[in-house]
């Protein structure tokens, strides 16, 4: 791999241990994927923030980088953590809270924005055609497909290394030739809601592997619906991008309503229709989604014995103060900066989760040891509320 003189000096350790380590990670990655050089990036998004999924050993590495004065070179956002300070921190054991704060402290020292969201594009939309280094698969597919920004699917360490160096290896979806659709998907049904978009994504992820689909037959798509499609497709497959319409050459795959229905049924593992938790906000809610939820809960109350959580970023929460108040008045909790999947719901005796997110329904049985009910937003709210 070609390195500039400046990059070589960093590689040789002239800019200290932290920069040298990050440069070595990027060069190793580039060599693995036959990249010829490093390219500058506009932004990075780092995953691996929740103490539940990170564990203890990586904290030592983060602390070593922070103590060595490593600083991000580009705007860098963080994925959600395991708890919020308003609600869950008060319910979970103190030592978990301490370690979670410890992780955040290291990231903050390195200059990462305490965004704590899997929808960083609501905070700042990346420039069309810009190169970025994002971890968080749902955001990667959304950025490439809907926003026209260019990013490979990074892991936590490679995204952090790219942030600290300000560059990423030039391979994969950073090359224009790798952004062309190579299979056509015809959706032979009238897709109606976010849950069906999610089920389509789960199905396509399994079928496509890492191929890029040109999807035909979707109705006029709202970005909130497409967000569910992107998140779910990244859950079961390695595809980093989809195209809406386009290519008709090559292989064609048809998706029928029966397959979508069966996928939703498969992702609903619970035998009961009465969940312990009704959860909306995977990926984190947009302002539109919060407004819609607030309208639907107005004048109603969350049922006794049921938890109702809406997850979003602190940025969207601040923009939606009135709507947050309406949801909380009804007895719901708007949790900012949290991902339910990487929180300790099992420690809160939550055994059944109802959600409109196919991604959550896919992961909850293993990561949260919970049974699932996958249903569209209106049905989730009908179950959570009375009155
Ligand atoms: Fe976001 Fe967690 Fe879902 S990171 S996409 S809320 S699984």
Q: How far from 375 is each of 100, 267, 274, 361, CA to CA, in Å? A: 32, 10, 13, 10
Most informative mutation of 137, 138, 226 for ligand 1 (most atoms within 8 A of CB): 138
Contacts of 315 (CB under 8 A, 6+ apart): 115, 117, 122, 123
Output the pLDDT for position 16.
Answer: 96
Output the pLDDT for position 259.
Answer: 98
Contacts of 265 (CB under 8 A, 6+ apart): none
Q: Do domains 5-177 and 268-386 have the same CATH topology?
A: yes
Q: Which atom of ligand 1 is nearest to the CA of 283?
A: 5
Residue 246: is its pLDDT beyond 90? no
For residue 229, how far is its CA from the centre of ligand 1 (angstroms)? 13
Q: How far from 284 is each of 43, 65, 357, 372, CA to CA, in Å? A: 19, 29, 10, 19
- CATH (one of 3.30.499.10, 1.10.340.30, 3.40.190.10, 3.30.750.24) for 268-386: 3.30.499.10
**Cis peptide leading into residue 150 (ω within 30°):** no
Q: What is the DSSP string of 215-235?
A: EE---S--HHHHHHHHHHHHH
How far apart (Å, rounded) are the C-alpha atoms in residues 260 and 265?
A: 9
For residue 360, how far is its CA from the centre of ligand 1 (angstroms)? 7
How far apart (Å, rounded) are the C-alpha atoms in residues 247 and 261?
A: 27
Q: Which atom of ligand 1 is nearest to the CA of 136?
A: 4
Q: How far from 200 is each of 3, 26, 132, 145, 186, CA to CA, in Å? A: 42, 34, 27, 16, 11
Output the pLDDT for position 221.
Answer: 74
Residue nearest to atom 1 of ligand 1 (CA): 283
Domain ranges of the chain: 5-177, 180-265, 268-386
Tokens representing residue 224 in the block: 């909130």
Tens-digit pLDDT profile for residues 249-301: 779 999 999 999 999 999 999 999 899 999 999 999 999 999 999 999 999 99
Taken in order 338, 340, 343, 348, is the CA torsion positive or negative?
positive
How far apart (Å, rounded) are the C-alpha atoms in residues 107 and 175?
A: 30
Mean pLDDT score of the chain: 96
Q: How confident is the model at residue 219 (pLDDT cuts 50, 70, 90)?
A: confident
pTM > 0.95: yes or no: yes
For residue 263, how far is its CA from the centre of ligand 1 (angstroms)? 20
How far apart (Å, rounded) are the C-alpha atoms in residues 116 and 98?
A: 17
Among residues 186, 165, 171, 174, the alpha carbon closest in space to that of 20 is found at 165
Read off φ and ψ for residue 110, nearest 5 degrees: -85, 0
Contacts of 311 (CB under 8 A, 6+ apart): 80, 279, 280, 281, 282, 284, 285, 334, 335, 336, 338, 339, 340
For residue 115, how far is its CA from the centre of ligand 1 (angstroms)? 14
CATH topology of domain 5-177: Aconitase; domain 3 (3.30.499)
Q: How far from 115 is each of 111, 131, 169, 178, 286, CA to CA, in Å? A: 12, 20, 25, 30, 14
Average pLDDT over residues 32-40: 98
Most informative mutation of 341, 365, 372, 374 for ligand 1 (most atoms within 8 A of CB): 341
- Catalogue the E-assigned strands of the chain: 38-40, 43-46, 75-78, 131-135, 150-154, 167-169, 183-187, 213-216, 243-244, 252-255, 277-280, 301-302, 307-312, 333-336, 352-355, 371-374, 385-386
For residue 118, how far is its CA from the centre of ligand 1 (angstroms)? 6
CB 228, CB 234: distance < 8 Å? no
**Ligand 1 binding site (Cβ under 6 Å of any ligand atom):** 79-80, 118, 138, 231, 282-284, 311, 339, 341, 359-360
CB 128, CB 72: distance < 8 Å? no
Output the pLDDT for position 23.
Answer: 98
Output the pLDDT for position 337.
Answer: 98
Output the pLDDT for position 273.
Answer: 87
How far apart (Å, rounded) are the C-alpha atoms in residues 147 and 126?
A: 7
Tens-digit pLDDT profile for residues 122-179: 999 999 999 999 999 999 999 999 999 999 999 999 999 999 999 999 999 999 999 9
Residue nearest to atom 6 of ligand 1 (CA): 282
Q: How confident is the model at residue 248 (pLDDT cuts 50, 70, 90)?
A: low
Residue nearest to atom 2 of ligand 1 (CA): 339
How many CB atoms neighbour CB 290 within 10 A? 25
């Amino acid at each position: 791999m070609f390195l500039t003189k400046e990059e070589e000096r960093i590689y040789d350790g002239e800019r200290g241990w932290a920069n040298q380590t990050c440069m070595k990670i990027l060069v190793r990655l580039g060599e693995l994927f036959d990249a010829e050089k490093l390219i500058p990036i506009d932004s990075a998004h780092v995953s691996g923030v929740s103490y539940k999924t990170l564990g203890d050993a990586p904290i030592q590495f983060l602390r070593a980088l922070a103590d060595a004065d490593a600083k991000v070179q580009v705007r860098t956002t963080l994925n959600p953590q395991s708890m919020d300070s308003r609600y869950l921190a008060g319910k979970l054991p103190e030592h978990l809270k301490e370690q979670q704060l410890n992780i955040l402290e290291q990231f903050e020292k390195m200059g990462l924005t305490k965004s704590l969201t899997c929808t960083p594009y609501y905070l700042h939309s990346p420039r069309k055609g810009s190169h970025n280094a994002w971890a968080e698969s749902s955001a990667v597919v959304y950025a490439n497909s809907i926003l026209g920004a260019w990013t490979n699917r990074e892991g936590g360490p490679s995204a952090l290394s790219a942030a600290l160096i300000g560059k990423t290896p030039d391979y994969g979806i950073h090359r224009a030739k790798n952004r062309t659709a190579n299979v056509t998907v015809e959706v032979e049904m009238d897709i109606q809601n976010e849950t069906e978009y999610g089920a389509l994504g789960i199905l396509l992820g399994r079928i496509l592997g890492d191929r890029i689909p040109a999807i035909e037959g979707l109705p006029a798509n709202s970005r909130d619906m497409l967000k569910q499609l992107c998140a779910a497709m990244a859950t079961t497959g390695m595809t980093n991008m989809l195209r809406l319409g386009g290519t008709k050459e090559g292989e064609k795959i048809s998706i029928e309503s029966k397959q979508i229905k069966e996928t939703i049924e498969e992702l609903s593992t619970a035998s009961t229709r009465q969940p312990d938790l009704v959860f909306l906000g995977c990926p984190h809610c947009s302002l539109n989604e919060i407004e819609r939820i607030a309208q639907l809960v107005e004048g109603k109350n969350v049922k006794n014995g049921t938890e109702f959580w809406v997850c979003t970023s602190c940025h969207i929460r601040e923009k939606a103060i009135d709507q947050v108040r309406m949801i909380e008045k009804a007895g719901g909790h708007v949790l900012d900066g949290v991902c339910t999947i990487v929180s300790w719901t099992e420690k809160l005796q939550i055994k059944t989760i109802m959600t409109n997110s196919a991604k959550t329904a896919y992961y909850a049985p293993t990561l949260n040891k919970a049974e699932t009910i996958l249903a569209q937003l209106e049905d989730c709210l009908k179950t959570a509320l009375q009155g």
